[in-house]
Chains A and B, each alone.
Chain A
């Protein structure tokens, strides 16, 4: 049998699920708090404290821009909450610049495990608009990866901000059938942006092939 070292098999390493037991290996305390110091994002109650080897949350300076909360629940195809999912976000800063281009204190990356009720929560800032293909501009958005037991390869989606004027001309939203666009819209309620994710079913979230 050929294996990892066989030249004739050279190519992309395949995706595999994170499985159900990733909590002591991936989501660290503070991973979901991009703007302050809290333990948001981790599930340390799922393993003994002596085995917490992940990063500890540290103080962060507040980046410019409006602090927001992004919250939601991950659902499966029967509408049951998914208690063992993990989300990652990637976003620009409030000026529309990604951290990879700057030495900015705002890193733009976050990670959160879902809770027993399927919920997740990020504290971040509202991103600015960013360049799009050609001369277009993309509306403010947060890119999201979803991982879970039963998810063989990460699912990619985006959270846009309901009523943002830039949404109308966003080149990515333009590729989504109008009837499904609402699944990509975070909606504001009491100062919190709500963004549920349905992995499957009638209100299935739009996922992107990147």
Chain B
């Protein structure tokens, strides 16, 4: 039998002893206005556990897992996709404003007409053979990332009569540890559908607005693409990780 690792291996070198917990901006699992949550949200409260080595570690070799980066979603096929070319750029950092370097962001979205390249999406909008809508980028040493895409369209869904999702880009991050996993959606400024979208509004105001990107003329490239800023904030380090604090 293998030797058990020493207790000093509890946290990898330089890793925090615990991460901060959910802040008030996070949605609750049950949000009945978003109908699919009604049968898919646990009815019992989750059991709070301390952060152990399991939660404090996570995969770091993202390239061995997911492959090389695909940072331009407009050059994946024979011709350019139809739609407004956009450049999305920002920083991934934690709640203490520490940059999160070398972390992968996976991206997926609908095309300019609001249609996904997926057999389950069959609404009456055209597919674009030149647009898949999938990519991934890796943050640099400063936590910065950037990708090129086209602005996705809004699309109808079956949640209620005349329900339309606001234009959005799905973003998935692993972060430095199991505890810092995040999947979110980036919304666009001045989209009137955000106000009436049950998914965006599962996050109470003002926190919902954390998911709304800002148009940036400085980032915008002349004669080429509109620029949007979107920073992503993962959990910070808990300076006082007394695991039984909440149970005392």
Indicate, yes or no, whether A interacts with B. yes
B207 and A9: CB pair below 8 A?
yes
**Interface membership of B178, Cβ < 8 A:** yes
How many residues in A have their beta carbons less than 8 Å from beta carbons of B?
93
Minimal Cβ-Cβ distance residue in B for A101: B12
A12 and B48: CB pair below 8 A?
no
A176 and B47: CB pair below 8 A?
yes
**Interface membership of B229, Cβ < 8 A:** yes
Q: Which of A5, A9, A26, A90 contacts B178 (CB 8 A)?
A: A90
A143 to B12, CA, bound (A): 18
Q: Which of B4, B26, B179, B229 contacts A137 (CB 8 A)?
A: B4
Q: Which of A81-117 contact B (CB under 8 A)?
A: 82, 84, 88, 90, 92, 94-101, 107-109
A39 to B75, CA, bound (A): 26
Minimal Cβ-Cβ distance residue in B for A157: B46
- Known contacts: A14-B26, A96-B4. The answer to whether A133 contacts B37 by CB under 8 A is no
Closest approach, in angstroms, between the C-beta of B233 and any C-beta of chain A? 5
Where chain B touches its partner, the secondary structure class is loop
A11 and B95: CB pair below 8 A?
yes
Minimal Cβ-Cβ distance residue in B for A30: B65
Residues on the A chain within 8 Å of B212, using CB: 1, 3-4
Number of chain B interface residues as a range: 35 or more
**Interface membership of B225, Cβ < 8 A:** no
A24 and B230: CB pair below 8 A?
no
Q: Which of A26, A50, A129, A172 contacts B108 (CB 8 A)?
A: A26
Residues on the A chain within 8 Å of B178, using CB: 90, 143, 145, 210
Q: Which of B40, B76, B179 contacts A76 (CB 8 A)?
A: B40
A11 and B233: CB pair below 8 A?
yes
A150 and B231: CB pair below 8 A?
no
**Interface membership of B161, Cβ < 8 A:** no
Minimal Cβ-Cβ distance residue in B for A88: B181
Residues on the A chain within 8 Å of B5, using CB: 95-97, 101, 130-131
Q: Which of A137-173 contact B (CB under 8 A)?
A: 137-138, 141, 143, 145, 147-156, 158, 171-172
Closest approach, in angstroms, between the C-beta of B44 and any C-beta of chain A? 6
B118 and A47: CB pair below 8 A?
yes
Closest approach, in angstroms, between the C-beta of B104 and any C-beta of chain A? 11
Residues on the A chain within 8 Å of B184, using CB: 13-16
B39 and A77: CB pair below 8 A?
yes
B60 and A100: CB pair below 8 A?
yes
B95 and A109: CB pair below 8 A?
no
Q: Which of A65-86 contact B (CB under 8 A)?
A: 76-78, 80, 82, 84
Closest approach, in angstroms, between the C-beta of A87 and any C-beta of chain B? 12
**Interface membership of B80, Cβ < 8 A:** no
B57 and A101: CB pair below 8 A?
yes
**Interface membership of B220, Cβ < 8 A:** no
Q: Which of A6, A17, A175, A200 contacts B47 (CB 8 A)?
A: A175
B182 and A13: CB pair below 8 A?
yes
A150 and B23: CB pair below 8 A?
no
B60 and A24: CB pair below 8 A?
no
Residues on the A chain within 8 Å of B49, using CB: 172, 175, 208-210
Closest approach, in angstroms, between the C-beta of A1 and any C-beta of chain B? 6
A156 to B52, CA, bound (A): 14
**Interface membership of A199, Cβ < 8 A:** yes
Shortest 3 CB-CB contacts between residues of A and residues of B: A25-B108, A150-B36, A150-B40
Can you give 9 A-B contacts (C-beta < 8 A)? A4-B213, A25-B172, A45-B119, A50-B77, A100-B12, A109-B59, A154-B181, A155-B42, A200-B40
